[in-house]
Amino acid sequence: MDFVRVIKHSNDLEKFIDIPEGLKNRKVEIIILPYTDQEDIEQGKKRA
């Protein structure tokens, strides 16, 4: 599975997501994984 891991300052992310107070003004780790909806999984089983 492909993924992305990035270390960024939380201030750079404020425009896109709500940052909890405990993470504001800190470096944070961002991990991006592919999203699989349960419905997508069930449809894949039906095709097989």
**pLDDT value, residue 36:** 80
Question: How far apart, in Å, are the Cα atoms of 25 and each of 5, 29, 36?
Answer: 19, 13, 31
Range of the domain at 11: 4-47
**How do the pLDDT tens digits run along the chain, 48 residues long?**
799 999 999 999 999 999 999 999 999 999 999 988 767 666 766 666
Q: How many domains does the chain have?
A: 1
* CA distances (Å), origin 31, targets 7, 8, 34, 36, 48: 9, 11, 10, 15, 31
Does pTM top 0.75 for this prediction?
no
Contact at 8 Å (CB) between 7 and 28?
yes
